[in-house]
Amino acid sequence: MAEALEPPDSAPALSPAKPRLRGADVVSSVILQYRANFLLNELDVGNLPPVSQISPRLLIPGFVPRRRDDAPEMLHQARVSLRRMRSTIRIFSSLLDATWAEQMSGDLSWYGDVLGRARDLTVMRERILDGDLPIRSVAVRELLRKYLDAELDGALSAQRAARESLRYGDLIEQLLELEAHIAFTPPAFHSARRVLPPELDEPFKELGDAAREARRDKTAKNLHAVRIRAKRVQHGCEALALVLGKPVHRTARAAEALQRRLGTVHDASVCQEWLVELATSEPRYAAHLTQLAEFERVQAKMSRRGWRDDLGTLRVRWRRWH
């Protein structure tokens, strides 16, 4: 397996007077920064790998790895950081050693699903019990609290069980020693300006394909597919912006606006589906729960207004530099 940032003999010599950024420099710096944020919010230990060795020109603007103050926010940060590592690996997979990338992506996906269930239930609990849902019945509120707390406790128990597994231990060890394990293909050691932009073509094409399907059939599932692909474009552009600057950074912000809008749609749709299922299992409160589900359906419908405009803005900004 290749060393993390050692170019092959065939790679062009770098000028000591004006070193250029290589694709491997950019990709590794992004992964290492989110690795640091994940470990800070996931582990209860000190002496974690610092990010001080990363060149200032490769630091993600506005992003500073730090440990959060409360458990829900720590969970959120760990999940986001893990997903961004996985997304970066997938976007730039042709520049990474295939064996390493497949194994790491698989382990990140596995633990990401564990964190995702707990985080989604935390968000849903806050949305239903602390949000604007019109719950007038005390009995209904207590019913919702009972079910949500039980499901959240189950998700947190699953997280604790995952943390005790050998797979989790291997994942943490890999992340702690990431600099020694991450491996690149020879093209990754060429100019970042040349090798990184083509890696975003496929994610952007997939976004367009998902958007066409969602325009044809505006289901929550199809809109969520658009959101997932918009996230991937956002993450790829955030990495590329370290090399190409503001035009690509603006594209990342447009992708973020699209996926945030569709994230609100997704949250409302998930709540709606959960309430409908609960109404089936609790017929005594079915009328109340069905009304709440209808409220969430309307919220989802209202939230998705303007997503095509967001997509249009993203396309315009993409064409300005691509």
- Mean pLDDT per block of 10 residues along the chain (322 residues) reads 46 52 95 94 73 81 86 92 96 96 95 93 88 80 94 95 96 92 94 96 97 94 96 96 95 97 94 94 93 92 94 97 92
CA dihedral of residues 137, 121, 261, 227 (deg, nearest 10): -140
Q: In this structure, what DSSP letter does residue 246 have?
A: H
Q: Please, are residues 33 and 82 in contact by the beta-carbon 8 Å criterion?
A: no
Q: Which of 142, 285, 132 is nearest to 277 (CA)?
A: 285
Confidence at residue 161, expressed as pLDDT on a 0 to 100 scale: 97
Positive/negative CA dihedral, 13, 19, 23, 27: positive
Confidence at residue 46, expressed as pLDDT on a 0 to 100 scale: 63
Structure tokens at 311: 């997509």
C-alpha 84/C-alpha 314 separation (Å) is: 20
Confidence at residue 8, expressed as pLDDT on a 0 to 100 scale: 45
Confidence at residue 64, expressed as pLDDT on a 0 to 100 scale: 84
Confidence at residue 12, expressed as pLDDT on a 0 to 100 scale: 47
CA of 270: how far to CAs of 39, 263, 275, in Å? 29, 10, 9
Q: Which of 31, 321, 24, 28 is nearest to 196 (CA)?
A: 24
C-alpha 147/C-alpha 56 separation (Å) is: 48
C-alpha 235/C-alpha 241 separation (Å) is: 10
Confidence at residue 14, expressed as pLDDT on a 0 to 100 scale: 43
Confidence at residue 2, expressed as pLDDT on a 0 to 100 scale: 46
In the block, which residue shows the tokens 């060393």?
A: 3
Annotated domain spans of the chain? 20-193, 196-322
